[in-house]
Every structure is written in structure tokens, then in C-alpha cells.
Amino acid sequence: MRYGYFDNEHREYVIDRVDTPVSWTNYIGTKDMCGVVNQTAGGYLFSGSSEYHRITRFRPNGVPMDFPGHYVYLRDEADGDFWSVSWQPVSKPLDQAKYVCRHGLSYSKYLCDYRGIHAEQTLFVAEDDPVEIWDVVIRNDSNRVRNLSAFSYCEFSFHQIDMDNRNFQMSLYAAGSRYADGIIEHDLYYEEDGYQFFTSNFEPDGYDCLRDAFIGAYHTERNPVAVERGVCSGSAELGGNHCGSLQKRITLQPGESVRLIFLLGEGGVESGKVMRQRYANAAAVDEQFEKLRLFWDKKLEKLQIQTPNDGMNALINIWTLYQSEINVIFSRFSSFIEVGGRTGLGYRDTAQDAMCVPHSNPDKCRQRIVELLRAETRAGYGLHLFEPRWFEPEQKQQSFRSPTVIPTPDRASIVHGIKDACSDDALWLVVSVAQYIKETGDFAFADERITYADGGEESVYDHLRRILNFSAEQVGQNGICKGLRADWNDCLNLGGGESTMVSFLHYWALDHFVPLAEKLGRSEDATYYRAMAEHVKDVCERVLWDGSWYIRGITADNRKIGTHTDAEGKVHLESNAWAVLSGVASKERGEQALRAIQEYLYTPYGIILNAPPYTKPDDGIGFVTRVYPGLKENGAIFSHPNPWAWGAACALGDGKAAMTFYDALCPYHQNDKIEVRQSEPYVYCQFVVGKAHTAFGRARHPFMTGSAGWSYYAATEYILGIKPDYDCLSVDPCIPADWKEFSVTRVWRGVTYDIHVTNPNGVTCGVKRILLNGAPVAQIPQLSAGARCRVEVELG
Ligand code: NOJ
């Protein structure tokens, strides 16, 4: 069963059945202002932090679902019938009204046809201003004159989400609204500069600033009393619940259309006046929309592929890059699942996000890397969850103490001890820095001086050394890295027990660091860390091999986890994928590890994390043993580690396995199986329910997941094999033998490489020759910026 289709030409996913089983979301905004909206215009807007700077209200996990949103109602003045431009809130029966939603890159468009009126509402954030634009077009497709009223509606939120949800004795009396000259101002009275405005490019015929006046007692957003009776009440007050509703009466001749622009922005009435003026002419709106299109053009053109796999083409060329960027730009705590309960940056997630898209967003990746380095302790571990502003050199503080503005905690309480450190967190950053320099050639970054969370400052390079040293020191009784609070798997809580995955990760980080040290001329360090890597490899191969696969770890009381005698949690994905991906496993052991993944963990919807799932609590292993079998970390198809197995398969030259794994998880390929998947087919979800559960195949928690960046990285660098290096671009694909050819256009350091790979002998890997503009080369060099060149690669 399908609910929509991919419109690749317009870079949109078109939902032509809007009653999807669960919310299908999208993100608008490319800077600080961000909206999370679904296929019915439900959702919310915030600026910077969805926890501390929420702009519009959302009632998450509610019944009915996904209310409220950023809505436009239409009312036929002839008979009082009313509907909404997006299917919700009014929810006209779908056999009477035609609804479509087009989710695009940082915009969503809602289209409706009802009783001869065609209406469209496009939501996006201006590139140049902190303002959400609602671009509304209403057209009379009937053959009679129509008198209509349009009403906007959004519900303002108290900035701090916790107080908004549960401290009404304060929140209801600390916000006010007023209206003047076509502008609604929402005022958060306890905050300096705590204002929003809602305005339009037309003279309104009515307004309501008070939610309860617009909606009416015992009514809901489905049937607001103002829309029912056809007139707003002109409400505004200091204190209460506030909304943005402007009414416009319109008369349309047959075939005539009107365009209404609504603006929801940061700042008070003065900002509203400026924006009202700036966007008075719809051409200014068109200009911002065009800028948004160019913003994405510039990113997407950095890497475009043409392969025999349509799903891979659509995802890599559009959706997976988009999803990865959304994670880098907005991090992880704003969705319909994460609704403002947490804020800041998760150390490991951010490091991995920044690792995957330095080609399309070098500035943001660099910014994230710097934020992470500042949140590193001198001991070499990262603060698991932190607010970047805690460590910014200049902190803007409000000039008076307000109960609603959360003060920055003092350093001592911010810097957690090793007990709360996760053993993997900072290791990822070593590779993020290496990737960033390989992409940009910005070697000077390694020497940049950056503070530590607990005081002092050193170069980026020295920060990385401390990270590697920390893992070398924090080993358990068998010489494997301690698991500490958790490793990548939040629910594997080994404390002083040992984590296979972290030792492999340590090796991988070292393997990235040594060439960087060499490149920077630090040959003593290169020798030292090369020896460290060899030592890690030896210990891993001695301790972690179980005969047919690698164990997942060792408990503090020295019991193996994931061994052949285990009835539960016998085989784990992370350890076996990382054994190969890291470069630790020999070919023979690596192939056996891959076979274990195929035999025990592979399903048609992707690879499950561990099998069989745990049913008996074992606190020596961790919380994973208390999670329902088949869900989340206990036997679900956790999406984020799946690409690790694609990379592992490629490292072994098994292009068939890599593509089988890729296709299984690929949401595109589930477009016609929504009765099973339920969630959006254009993005990866955090997990897909595993086979031990009755809901096998159901995907949950879209967008905010490390599977975005990792699937992009694994597909482009391992499967398609396009890898930037310090001074060359390497091409080393691993593909199914039946792929005859594929092409990639890759922009690297300002040069466009048009790469065409042919596979005349039907191999899976191995480069026979490379021609650069027709001349044979051993590797693809960096050319002068601005050049465009042709690269022909023959496999064989
Ligand atoms: C989600 C967390 O955000 C991520 O950091 C973690 O690695 C996975 N869960 C697995 O536990």
C-alpha cells in the first residue's frame, strides 16, 4: 500500500493520500529558525532551541494526533461551510475534498481542491530573515463568483517548554498579546527581547490574539467558533493563551486567484513592521523561495550519482543528504518524538553527523567539531550531553534574573566525571576532524587552539591525542577498552567491563590519526600511535574472536557477551561489523563475521542489532536486557549501525552483500509497503521493529538518527568508493557484479570531477585503470579550483 510517490525532478515527496498511518514530517528553516511540520500542517516552530525558545505550541503524542499547527481556514460566506487548506484541522472527508502535501527541501506545500476552490499553502523560512512565510494562493475554479474568508491560525507557546507544559500558574500570566496596524505581537514579559509577531501583506478584516476567543470554549481547532460564525472577535490581552489569527475577506471571479502572505517572525511589533514592508510584495517572497532552492542546489551539486539502483539515486541525490544536513544543522532534539524535553548536543551523535557531510556543509561541520572539542575534558573524554553556549568565549546573559530564563550552570556541575562518560563519544571526533581536513585541505585547523571543558587550551591536534590516550588508558582486565556508562549502544552499560566495539573504534580512530600526524610532519607521534594501533589490534585478535564471530564485550565479572554458548544475545551487529570496518579482522575472520551477520541478523527489512534478543534481565550487560525483544536496542533493526555492515561487506570486496544490506534498509524500496513500514519512505528512521516482535517491519522515529549520515557516508565512500584523501581523490568502488556502469559528479576542493565507472568484466571491486581527461593516472590529483575534468575508471 502506498500513500505517495517521489517526484525527483522537483525534489519533492508527494503525499497524495494524506491520511498516513503516522505523521510524515518535514523540516523547514536552514539556520536558527526551525519548523517541524507534518503532512497536514501540524507541528511547531522554534528558534535555536526547541526546549528554551519554542515559538508555537504543539501537543505531542496526542489524540487526535499532531495538533495544532500552522493553519489556514477557508469559509464560504454563501453558506458558512468551512475547510482548511491542509487536511487537518478541519479534516473534510477525503471523498469530498482532494488533499495533497508536497514535502520539499526545507519547505512543505499543502494543496486542496474543494467545491470549486483550489488552495495552496507553502510553509518555509526566509533565507535572509528569522521569519516563517506562509505563502497562500486561493483560486476560484468554479463558474460562479465566490465570497470567501481566509483565517490564519497558530498557537503561541511560552518559550520554555517545561513551563509551558506544567507551570501554568506562571506561564498563563507571563505572556501577553496586542494588535495594531495589521500586526499581532506576542510578548514574553519575563524575558528581555521575548517577542514574536504575526502579520500579513494585506490589511486584515479581523484578528484574534487570544486562542480561547478564536477557538471558543468546548470547540477545538476542527471547528473554531470564529470560523464558524465567520468573524474574528478582535481579542488581545496581557496574560492567557495567545494565537496568530488574521482574517481576510475575498471575492473571486471565476478563474480568479489571490495570493495572501502571512509572516510569523522573531521580534516585536517593530520587527513586524519591517517584515510587513519587506514582504508586502509577493516578489520578495518568490526571491526568498528561490534563494532556498539555490541553497539546496549548491549542496546537492557537490555529489550527484547515476547508478542502476533508483532507490539509491533518489536517496543519495536528494533525501539522505537532506536528512544528514538536517541532523547537522538542528541536531537531534526537535521532532515529533523529541519535542523539547532535551536540548544541546549529544557528543557521539554530533561527531558522527559532522563526519559525514563536510563536502556539503564544511562550515557547520567545522562549527560542530569546534563545539565538541570545547566540550572535551583534559582527561580525553567528551561531555555526553552539553549546551555549546556553556563553552562559548562570550556568553550573552539577560540583564535581570528571570524565573523563565535558565541560567548557565557553573563549570563544576557541567563537567561530569568519568563515571558518566561514554567510552565511544570522543573517539568519533578523531575521524570527523580527519574527514574535515581531507575534504577541505584546511590543515591549519589542526593547529587551532581550543579550550577544554575543564580549563586550559591546546591545539586541535593535541585534543585528538588526548582522546586516543584516554582509550589506551581506560582498558579493563583483558586489555579491551572499558565500556563505562555505555558505548555506542546506550543500553550496554558495562562500567568497568569491556567493549569490543570501542576497542575496534579506537583502532579505527588511530588508523585515521596516524596519516594525519604524518601529513603534519609529526613523525614521532605517527610512530607512537602506529605502535598503539598494532597493540590494540593484537589484543583484539587475541581476546575477542569467538571461533565463528567476534564477541560483543566482557562483563565486569569477566563473562563473555555474544558468545556461541549464549542462548540470548549470541551474535551482535556492532562488534562484527566493526571488526571488519576498523581494519582489525583478518580476511578469513572478517568473512566469518560477515557470514554470522548474514545468518543470524539479516532480515528483509535490514539487519537486527542482536539475536536472539534478551528476555532475561542481566545488569552486568546492561539495560538492553530489560528492553522488550524486537524493539530499540534489543533486537530491532537499529538503522544507524546498518551502514557499518555495508562498509564491512565492501571492505571484504563483497558488493553483493553490501547492496543486499543497503536495499533491505532503504526506505525508498518500502514506498509500496506502508501498511508494514507506516513511517515516511523518504527518510531513515531510528529503528525498524525486529522479527521477534509482532510489529516486525514497522519503522519508528524518522529524521533524527545517525543512520542518515552513516548511510550517506557508507553508500558514497564504501559502495561507490569516492573517498577524498589528504591530497588526492580516491575511487575504489565495491558494487554488485551485475552493475555494468555508474557515474558520479563530485565537487572536491572547488574542482568538478565527472567520474564514470565501467565494469566490463562483471567484478565487484578492484580498479584496473583510471584515466584523467584521457590520460592514465595512478590516482586522481587535486587540480586548480574551478576546473572540470573527466575521470574514467575501469574495474577489473
Ligand atoms: C540513540 C542515541 O541518540 C545514540 O547516541 C545511540 O548511539 C543510539 N540511540 C543507540 O543506543
pLDDT tens, position by position, 541-591: 999 999 999 999 999 999 999 999 999 999 999 999 999 999 999 999 999
Closest CA to ligand 1's atom 3? 349
Instruction: For residue 349, give the H/E element and its range.
Output: helix 347-356
Is 488 close to ligand 1, i.e. is its CB under 6 Å away? yes
Is 633 close to ligand 1, i.e. is its CB under 6 Å away? yes
Closest CA to ligand 1's atom 10? 489
What contacts 195, CB < 8 A, 6 or more positions away?
A: 185, 186, 187, 188, 266, 267, 268, 269, 271
**Residue-level pLDDT at 399:** 76
Is 70 close to ligand 1, i.e. is its CB under 6 Å away? no
Closest CA to ligand 1's atom 9? 490
Please tell me whether the overall predicted TM-score, pTM, comes out greater than 0.95 for this model. yes
**Residue-level pLDDT at 406:** 64
Yes or no: say if 722 and 700 are a contact pair by the CB < 8 Å rule: no
Dist CA 351 CA 338 (whole Å): 19
Q: Residue 261: phi, psi to the nearest 5?
A: -110, 125
Yes or no: say if 782 and 727 are a contact pair by the CB < 8 Å rule: yes
Q: Residue 120: beta bridge partners?
A: 111, 137
How far, rounded to the nearest angstrom, does the alpha carbon of residue 338 sit from its chain's CA centroid?
12
| Angle subtended by helix axes 347-356 and 427-440, to nearest 10 | 20
pLDDT by residue (tens digit) across 665-712?
999 999 999 999 999 999 999 999 999 999 999 999 999 999 999 999
Is 518 close to ligand 1, i.e. is its CB under 6 Å away? no
**Residue-level pLDDT at 117:** 99
* Substitution site in 331, 334, 488 for ligand 1 pocket (most atoms within 8 Å of beta carbon): 488
Dist CA 310 CA 225 (whole Å): 49
Handedness of CA 579, 584, 585, 587 (dihedral sign): positive
Ramachandran class of 146: left when φ > 0, alpha when ψ lies in -120 to 50, beta otherwise: beta
Q: Measure 346 CA to ligand 1 centroid, in angstroms.
A: 9
Looking at residue 408, what DSSP letter applies? P
Q: Measure 686 CA to ligand 1 centroid, in angstroms.
A: 9
**Residue-level pLDDT at 404:** 67
Q: Which residues are catalytic?
A: 490
Q: Measure 489 CA to ligand 1 centroid, in angstroms.
A: 6
Q: Measure 697 CA to ligand 1 centroid, in angstroms.
A: 20
CA angle 620, 386, 486 (to 5 degrees): 15
Instruction: For residue 276, give the H/E element and its range.
Output: helix 269-278
Q: Measure 81 CA to ligand 1 centroid, in angstroms.
A: 48
Is 139 close to ligand 1, i.e. is its CB under 6 Å away? no
Is 490 close to ligand 1, i.e. is its CB under 6 Å away? yes
Dist CA 174 CA 750 (whole Å): 52
**Residue-level pLDDT at 342:** 87
Dist CA 183 CA 519 (whole Å): 58
Tell me which residues of the chain have a pLDDT lower than 50.
none
State the chain's mean pLDDT as an integer: 97
As given in the structure block, the three cell numbers for residue 698 are 514497522
3-state secondary structure of 790: strand
Closest CA to ligand 1's atom 5? 349
Ramachandran class of 91: left when φ > 0, alpha when ψ lies in -120 to 50, beta otherwise: left
Q: Measure 485 CA to ligand 1 centroid, in angstroms.
A: 13
Ligand 1 atom having least distance to the Cα of 491:
11
Yes or no: say if 533 and 514 are a contact pair by the CB < 8 Å rule: yes
Cα distances (Å, whole numbers) of residue 494 to 421, 485, 489, 544, 611: 12, 7, 11, 16, 19
